[in-house]
Structure 1
């Protein structure tokens, strides 16, 4: 029988990420998002909402893990990807993957959405 070992939810204001893009604060974007995430988001009609839900996904994962960014986990170790149908997934590497394994997590389930001013993401960790 499988069990849930973590659940995280995060809600973000899209305007925050719109401002990073429109005001040229790319250092923030580069610190948080992988090259692949940046390439995808910056080619979309509304890059801010795509960055926002990816940030929410990373925050939701950290909440599900129960660690936050402490213990050496970095933003770059969490990457949101989409399959050929557009279904999102969260790939973790490095220390984030080690902490997940120590917690017993083997599967990461991600769902996100955006509407109006907000983006939201939910992450479930399962053994």
Structure 2
């Protein structure tokens, strides 16, 4: 049964402006340690790809927070929610710490989809009861 649905659209230009203002500090606030390493590698090879990577992660985490009904309040935090991917490339939600404990105790399962095009990144998340 569906527990919640969340969607988000993110203006990539806004993410770029935040990076220009705050640099790595902004990315460190949003990304898990593993995501941060990926972001740094992508940014080094192609800066625009790094910006889009950060925008899709921002958008997916917003969509997830809406689907679980917590918004950005404990136990939901940017860094405890990670957007990983399966070998096939399919995006997956990976949770850590208190957020993982809360999510598992609720018996929930999440599905996420992310996309980006030019100036926008968008995400859709469905959370269901197991």
- 2:83 and 2:92 in contact (8 A); partners too: yes
- CA shift at 1:102, angstroms? 4.8
Q: Is the 8 A contact 2:19 2:26 kept in 1?
A: no
Could you list the runs of 5+ residues in structure 1 that have no partner in the other structure?
A: none
Question: Mind listing any 5+ residue stretches in structure 2 that lack a counterpart?
Answer: none
**Paired residue for 1:93, among 74, 96, 119?**
96
Classify the secondary structure of the residue corresponding to 2:102. helix
Helix, strand or coil at the partner of 1:89? strand
* Aligned mates of 2:73, 2:17 — CA distance in 1: 26
SS in 2 for 1:66: coil
**TM-align CA RMSD:** 1.7
Tell me how far apart the structure 2 counterparts of residues 24 and 65 of structure 1 sit (CA, whole Å).
29
Contact 1:5 1:104 in 2 (8 A): no
Shift of 1:40: 1.4
Q: 1:116 deviation in Å?
A: 1.2
Aligned to 2:3: 5
**Out of 69, 74, 77, which is 2:72 matched to?**
69
Cα distance in 1 for residues equivalent to 2:85 and 2:75: 26
Partner of 1:55: 58
Shift, 1:125, TM fit: 0.6
* 8 Å Cα contact 2:15/2:55 also seen in 1: yes
Q: Residues of 1 paired with 2:41 and 2:96: CA distance?
A: 25
Q: 1:15 aligns with which of 13, 16, 34?
A: 13
Q: CA deviation at 1:15?
A: 1.5
Number of equivalences: 124
- Asked if 1:82 is matched to 2:85, the reply is yes
Q: CA deviation at 1:19?
A: 2.9
